[in-house]
């Protein structure tokens, strides 16, 4: 089915971004963290609480909903929704925010995610979640010791290795690249650069995943603010325009995606045909990617499915140096989920907004003024020179994903 573009290219912008510290012991509520992240994003945009009249958030019964955090900040709504979801929600909600504004429901929407993802509700399903009763569709997998995200995705990764000869050493380069990027990021939890050998020598979690193939459960809140390009013109930063968005596109048989192969295919197979025509560009035009790295393999699978290389050549692509700072198309320049901290995707959109502003928060002495050295040795710069177009590839699971293409104004 062809999805008709609605002519919204360039008409909406992300104007504010904000986040809390990334930690493994926030020592406070998701309400407190959400308020901090939203406030930072409002101030970053040069807005006031009175200018924000819409709110969207995503959660899985593990967070504080919009009614509380908006009240803390003195925000009155013309529109809000609390949405169930984890990975790939950010991009989808950016599209829904555009839709709400386009429908005349509100003017400016703050989108947030707040979670004590390590100290309270662990994403991996350990602790309280592992003790929950098993019923309904979960009976098809959970009684077999298949509950965590890594356990749920590993047969997809294994089948890709079988079909295409992808190796552990190839995908380890995703961790190597992201750790390089994190070494330039004062916010990152893991700033130490690692080697392919470090990844391969780390202990097994669920084959084919080593410990260092997996991301880092984290406490944090994140926020982005969406408004029209018209309003964005008068705000603080150079606007970042939305060229296209695809939200939670799925493969067939979402109840049990194993039924419809090839299981090494991911949702980008369908999403790419929505987003690239909308944006009016192709993969070759993208300067920086933000391919969701819940695991090293998720980054690789999405990059190949969206056409940054041929299907099956993702292992060669991610191990070629292309995805590293200084390479032709760096991926996740903050170090993202593998090294910066796990946010369910919003941090990768925030990073790309900062890249397009030319104002990433690295160790360059004059980073705050947007002056960068482009020295990618440890402890220095992570700004990509003249980044004009970025693309985020959001991942919920092999069968569901989202995408977002932005350009600098």
Partner 1 sequence: MPQPVQYRGMALIVPDNDSEWKEFYEHARAHRLVVRKCKACGLMRYPPTHACPWCMELGWTWQEVSGRGTIYSYEIVAHAIQPGFREQTPYAVVLIELDEQRGQPTPDEALRVIANLVKADFTPEAEANVAIGRRVRVVFQDLADHMALPQFTLTEEPASGRVWRMPE
Assess 363 for contact with partner 1 (CB under 8 A): no
Assess 2 for contact with partner 1 (CB under 8 A): no
User: Which region, judged by CB under 8 A, interacts with partner 1, from 112-120, 189-197, 258-266, 305-313?
Assistant: 258-266
- Residue 363 annotated in active site: no
Minimal distance in Å, beta carbon 151 to partner 1? 6
Q: How many residues bind partner 1 (CB under 8 A)?
A: 46
- Please identify which of the residues 292, 306, 317, 376 carries the catalytic annotation: 292
User: What is the widest separation between alpha-carbon atoms in the chain?
Assistant: 56
Residue 373 token pair:
């050295």
Kindly give, in sequence order, each residue whose CB lies less than 8 Å from that of residue 140, ignoring residues fewer than 6 positions away.
256
Residue 356 preceded by cis peptide, ω within 30? no
One character per residue 175-204, x = contact with partner 1 (rule: CB under 8 A): ----------------------------xx
- Euclidean distance between CA atoms 336 and 350, whole angstroms: 10
| Residue from 6, 236, 260, 385 in contact with partner 1 (CB under 8 A) | 260
Residue 239 DSSP class: P
Assess 226 for contact with partner 1 (CB under 8 A): no
Assess 128 for contact with partner 1 (CB under 8 A): no
Assess 148 for contact with partner 1 (CB under 8 A): yes
Assess 208 for contact with partner 1 (CB under 8 A): yes
Residue 213 token pair:
């193939």
Nearest to 221 by CA among 13, 45, 17: 17
Assess 135 for contact with partner 1 (CB under 8 A): yes
Assess 113 for contact with partner 1 (CB under 8 A): no
- Residue 12 annotated in active site: no
- Please identify which of the residues 112, 306, 342, 376 carries the catalytic annotation: 342
Residue with tokens 């080697």: 195
Q: What 3-state class would DSSP assign to 94?
A: helix
User: Of 208 and 244, which has the nearer Cβ to partner 1?
Assistant: 208
User: Which region, judged by CB under 8 A, interacts with partner 1, from 146-154, 236-244, 266-274, 295-303?
Assistant: 146-154
User: Which region, judged by CB under 8 A, interacts with partner 1, from 38-46, 161-169, 288-296, 345-353?
Assistant: 161-169
Residue with tokens 């991942």: 395
**CA geometry: angle 202, 185, 108, nearest 5 deg:** 120
**CA geometry: angle 47, 344, 257, nearest 5 deg:** 135
| Residue from 1, 7, 234, 255 in contact with partner 1 (CB under 8 A) | 255
Residue 375 token pair:
């020295």
| Residue from 139, 282, 379, 385 in contact with partner 1 (CB under 8 A) | 139
Minimal distance in Å, beta carbon 375 to partner 1? 38
- Euclidean distance between CA atoms 109 and 56, whole angstroms: 7
Residue 176 token pair:
């190597």
Minimal distance in Å, beta carbon 161 to partner 1? 6
- Euclidean distance between CA atoms 394 and 332, whole angstroms: 12
CB 69 within 8 A of CB 18: no
| Residue from 60, 155, 277, 370 in contact with partner 1 (CB under 8 A) | 155
One character per residue 262-281, x = contact with partner 1 (rule: CB under 8 A): xx------------------
Assess 394 for contact with partner 1 (CB under 8 A): no
CB 349 within 8 A of CB 290: yes
Minimal distance in Å, beta carbon 155 to partner 1? 4
Nearest to 201 by CA among 213, 189, 192, 191: 213
Q: What 3-state class would DSSP assign to 397?
A: strand
Residue 372 token pair:
């960068």
The residues of the shown chain that bind partner 1, judged by CB under 8 A, are 124-126, 130-131, 133-137, 139-148, 151, 154-156, 158-159, 161-162, 167-168, 203-208, 252-253, 255-256, 258-263
Catalytic positions, please? 292, 342
């Amino acid at each position: 089915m062809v999805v008709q573009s609605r002519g919204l290219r360039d008409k909406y912008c992300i104007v504010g971004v904000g986040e809390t510290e990334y930690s493994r012991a926030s020592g406070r509520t998701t309400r407190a963290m959400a308020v901090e992240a939203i406030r930072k994003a409002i101030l970053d945009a040069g807005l006031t609480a009175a200018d924000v009249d819409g709110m969207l958030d995503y959660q899985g019964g593990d967070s504080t909903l919009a009614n509380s955090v908006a009240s803390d900040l003195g925000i009155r709504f013309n529109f809000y929704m609390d949405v169930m979801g984890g990975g790939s929600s950010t991009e989808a909600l950016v599209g829904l925010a555009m839709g709400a504004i386009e429908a005349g429901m509100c003017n400016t929407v703050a989108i947030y995610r707040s979670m004590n993802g390590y100290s309270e509700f662990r994403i991996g399903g350990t602790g309280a979640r592992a003790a929950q009763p098993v019923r309904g569709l979960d009976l098809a997998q959970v009684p077999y010791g298949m509950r965590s995200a890594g356990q749920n995705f590993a047969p997809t990764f294994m089948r890709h290795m079988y079909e295409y000869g992808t190796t552990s050493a190839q995908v380890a380069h995703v961790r190597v690249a992201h750790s390089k990027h994190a070494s330039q990021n004062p916010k990152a939890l893991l700033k130490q650069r690692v080697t392919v050998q470090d990844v391969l020598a780390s202990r097994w979690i669920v084959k084919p995943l080593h410990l260092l193939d997996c991301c880092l459960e984290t406490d944090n809140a994140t926020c982005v603010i969406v408004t029209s390009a018209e309003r964005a013109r008068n705000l603080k930063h150079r606007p970042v325009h939305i060229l296209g968005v695809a939200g939670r596109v799925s493969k067939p048989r979402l109840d049990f995606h194993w039924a419809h192969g090839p299981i090494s295919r991911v949702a980008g197979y369908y999403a790419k045909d929505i987003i690239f025509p909308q944006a009016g560009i192709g993969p070759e035009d993208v300067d920086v990617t933000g391919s969701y790295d819940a695991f090293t393999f998720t980054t690789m699978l999405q990059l190949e499915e969206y056409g940054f290389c041929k299907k099956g050549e993702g292992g060669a692509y991610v191990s070629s140096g292309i995805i590293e700072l200084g390479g032709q198309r760096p991926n996740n320049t903050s170090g993202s989920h593998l090294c910066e901290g796990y946010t369910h995707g919003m941090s990768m959109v925030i990073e790309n907004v900062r890249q397009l502003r030319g104002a990433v928060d690295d160790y360059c002495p004059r980073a705050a003024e947007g002056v960068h050295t482009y020295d990618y040795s440890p402890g220095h710069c992570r700004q990509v020179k003249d980044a004009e177009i970025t693309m985020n590839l959001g991942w919920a699971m092999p069968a569901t994903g989202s995408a977002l293409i932005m350009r600098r104004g």
